[in-house]
Chains A and B, each alone.
Chain A
Amino acid sequence: GAVVSQHPSRVICKSGTSVKIECRSLDFQATTMFWYRQFPKQSLMLMATSNEGSKATYEQGVEKDKFLINHASLTLSTLTVTSAHPEDSSFYICSVPGQGDTEAFFGQGTRLTVV
């Protein structure tokens, strides 16, 4: 299966600053990647679909201006949390789809804490 590397694994930032999270598909070209978010004691929720060479598709209720997604190449998607606030503190994780509708490969996740 695909190997997905996500960086950083943990980040602490001050309110009002921006944080960039990288998701790399190390051995598989991915035209699509997915970004999920998990609040404490809650489920993983899909935030957006990252599309190589075109705009990301955001799920309902996700602010596209706050969560900027760039999928500049077939192996890299980035999620930038702009003007972060404490309520953005969460676990963010990316995934790369596999073959057909039966597989997905995940990065290690990023624990973001905004203070």
Chain B
Amino acid sequence: GDSVTQMEGPVTLSEEAFLTINCTYTATGYPSLFWYVQYPGEGLQLLLKATKADDKGSNKGFEATYRKETTSFHLEKGSVQVSDSAVYFCALMLRAQKLVFGQGTRLTINP
């Protein structure tokens, strides 16, 4: 079945460090791929998305490229801030607008 595997956390970095959170997927078709972020006490917010191979999603300094050949959608940011501390979810949407999520990665940025 369809599935998403995310880099296990928690991840702790210092401010201005480079961030990578790995995400790979398994799907029978051609899914759309997403990164969602959940700040403490809040719901999930869409961070970025890509709907076809080689698309790059970007938002707030975060980027992820849809790599069909490696079935990956790794999240990157060049210089993280304390305010980026949150839980990040990789997800795919294949049909009927149902999302399949990875397990989430808790990111903590220390000043």
Residues of A within 8 A of B (CB): 1, 4, 6, 9, 32, 34, 36, 38, 41-46, 49, 93, 95, 97, 101-109
Does B93 reach chain A (CB closer than 8 Å)?
A: yes
Question: A108–B93 contact, CB under 8 A?
Answer: no
Choose, from B11-19, B42-50, B60-68, B74-82, the stretch at the interface: B42-50
Residue among B4, B89, B98 making CB contact with A46, cutoff 8 Å: B98
Question: B98–A49 contact, CB under 8 A?
Answer: yes
Q: Complex: how many Å from CA A74 to CA B96?
A: 18
- Chain A residue numbers with a CB within 8 Å of B103 are 41-43
- Chain A residue numbers with a CB within 8 Å of B100 are 46
Question: A104–B42 contact, CB under 8 A?
Answer: no
Does B58 reach chain A (CB closer than 8 Å)?
A: no
Q: Complex: how many Å from CA A109 to CA B46?
A: 15
Known: A43-B4, A101-B95. A106 touches B101 (CB 8 A): no
Known: A106-B43, A108-B42. A101 touches B32 (CB 8 A): yes
Question: A34–B98 contact, CB under 8 A?
Answer: yes
When C-beta atoms are compared, the residue in chain A nearest to B5 turns out to be A43
Question: B97–A32 contact, CB under 8 A?
Answer: yes
Question: B101–A43 contact, CB under 8 A?
Answer: yes
Known: A43-B104, A44-B89. A95 touches B99 (CB 8 A): yes
Question: B43–A101 contact, CB under 8 A?
Answer: no
- Chain A residue numbers with a CB within 8 Å of B36 are 106
Does B51 reach chain A (CB closer than 8 Å)?
A: yes
Question: A46–B99 contact, CB under 8 A?
Answer: yes
Q: Complex: how many Å from CA A109 to CA B38?
A: 10
- Chain B residue numbers with a CB within 8 Å of A38 are 104
Q: How far is the CB of A35 from chain B (nearest CB, A)?
A: 11
